[in-house]
Amino acid sequence: MPDKSEDKIPNKTETTPKGKGFGSVLGKGKPSMPKVPVPKSSWRGFLIYAILGILLFAFFAFTSAPTSRFMPAEPLSKAINDIKDNKVENIEIDGDRLNVKLKDGQTYISRKEENQSFFTAIEAAKVDPSYASITVKDRTFSQAWVTILTTFLPLGLIILFFFFIFRQAREGASSVFSFGQSRAKQFTRDMSKVTFADVAGVDEAKQELQEVVDFLKHPEKYRAIGARTPKGALLVGPAGTGKTLLARAVAGEAGVPFFSVAGSEFMEMLVGVGAARVRDLFNQAKKTAPAIIFVDEIESIGRMRGLGFSGGHDEREQTLNQILVEMDGFAPNDNVFVIGATNRPDLLDPALTRPGRFDRRVVLDLPDIEGRKAIIQIHMRGKPFAKDVDIERLAKRTVGFSGADLANMLNEAAILAARAARREIENLDLEEAATKVKLGPQRKRMQSEEERKMTAYHEAGHAIVAHYLPNVDPVHRISIVARGMTGGHTLVPPSIDRYTETKTRLLERIATLLGGRAAEDLIFGEFTTGAASDLEIASTMAREMVTQFGMSELGPTIFQPHPQFGIWPIMGPEASQVSPELAAKIDKEISGGPA
């Protein structure tokens, strides 16, 4: 029986040439970069994928050798004849492949039968094998690794597959069970760089919260005189007045754990998740008491119950009920103070805003002139200003600006100065920034001569009426340059802070708004669409004078409820207060016709 594919040469020692490994290469080179801490999970995942890649590479490397049988090869008879003719210098037997090297330097590949020994073929051809140097490549090591890989690698891949499946399932299950965990972020004094010194224009509100911070730091001083711990404070005010900034200042000053969460973070599709998160949040705060919880935009979960259309047991109501219980329920909760912030206090449930839950309602209004000066000085820090910049004049120019508006204005002024390559912020930068904040950026669009002329007469009409009416503030600026959604503007800012309006002043403001439309009629004999926004503002003002302020011939009566719930009309008895006949009289009063 012929030998198998493994050929043996008697009286010769087989040597396997030693190759260079990778160890000598990896130890050399440039110094490594500083180490960056990597999470353990990242290292674990990287290691698994690296091992898997090495195994796959080794598998394909060791199993790719059999594909060499498809390479072109000379017939075995040619190799035997070359040995017989003494042309062969060396033949290397690599399995079924013969690497033949001739004495003249040429090489070629030949191939024997798969189960036939090369020496048997030579003997059958009656050729002396000593005419050529014949070596056999040792493939025992390679064949062993191929056997191991082909046996265990598929099994390992299956195990890895199920490992990933079970791990993903475990993570998915943990994420399901973590639905009820609070999304609140905990802050310490070192994490919040804002203090009460960075808050201006809301001195009364700042004093209220400073007392709260002092109460948490020194409770014995207040308890000695019989004062109880306040449960909460509700920050109320228009957008941009500093509610969140004041809460950040509390976090920087309190010296106790501070938990911050948005009202919307309690809500999920699954009913009961919001209530579970509320419980988890208060449990965390109680463990670290004394502590402060800040809920921003609290109206998203604290809306008045019974106004929804999804029944009395929806997710929002369950969340609100849990907040009510946690703030002032049967269990004592003396060392957790809750701060809520909202610009829609009319939406909140009365049970949430009563004393015992939110004991203090802190109102943050638009800053007055002194408040604006203080805010401007804070935001001027770190910015170079020209010597002729007058803070007093700037504060008078920005009547009606909120704290956020002032911060944005000074930042825009710095950007404008940098854009113009100036080293200092000048008055013209501040003027342009104030106009940009209130009206929007310039829109450089091409207008025809006729459109520019119409816009100019329209804006001049506003300015002339405002100039001749005694109770209208002075005209500050007229422009036909488009800004925001307007084609031009006549800027008549308030000269002083006003908190009430008279009927005369409101009527003169309506007349000023209609001055542009009157100018179009006088000059061109027709009206344009440029007065649309003026008509909208004037109509709203006239309707409020009649239906809410009692400034008409119909008497001092409120005929229409305030749209406090964000929908108009609301359901309830208030929706049917006005009869059709009275509604017609109201429309007559608004339009200025006879009642």
Q: Where are the beta strands (DSSP E) in 402-519?
A: 477-479, 489-491
Marked catalytic residue, from 459, 508, 520, 589: 459
11: its two tokens? 């009286």
Rounded Cα–Cα distance for residues 186 and 190 (Å): 12
Pick from 132, 122, 141: nearest CA to 2:
122
Q: Establish whether 198 is an annotated binding residue.
A: no
Q: Establish whether 562 is an annotated binding residue.
A: no
* Helix and strand numbers, DSSP H then E, in the chain: 19, 12
Cβ neighbours of residue 586 under 8 Å, at least 6 residues apart?
546, 547, 554, 559, 578
User: Tokens 């905990």 correspond to what residue?
Assistant: 186
Cβ neighbours of residue 381 under 8 Å, at least 6 residues apart?
none
Pick from 76, 177, 186: nearest CA to 127:
76
Are 138 and 16 spatial neighbours (Cβ–Cβ below 8 Å)?
Answer: yes
Rounded Cα–Cα distance for residues 260 and 273 (Å): 18
What DSSP letter does each residue of 298-358 carry, written as one string? GGGT-BPTT--SS-TTSHHHHHHHHHHHHHHSSS--TTEEEEEEES-GGGB-HHHHSTTTS
Rounded Cα–Cα distance for residues 62 and 65 (Å): 6
To the query of whether residue 459 is one of the catalytic residues in this protein, the response is yes
Identify the H or E element spanning 243: helix 243-254
Identify the H or E element spanning 91: strand 88-94
Largest CA distance in the chain: 134
Residue 303 C-alpha from the chain's centroid: 25
The secondary structure of residue 423, as a DSSP letter, is S
Q: Establish whether 379 is an annotated binding residue.
A: no
User: CA-CA distances (angstroms) from residue 409 to 4, 415, 423?
Assistant: 91, 10, 18
Are 516 and 487 spatial neighbours (Cβ–Cβ below 8 Å)?
Answer: no
Per the DSSP assignment, residues forming a β-bridge with 348 are 303
259: its two tokens? 């938990």
Are 260 and 187 spatial neighbours (Cβ–Cβ below 8 Å)?
Answer: yes
Q: Which sequence positions are flagged as catalytic?
A: 459
Residue ranges at the known binding site = 458, 462, 534
Residue ranges at the known binding site for Zn(2+) = 458, 462, 534
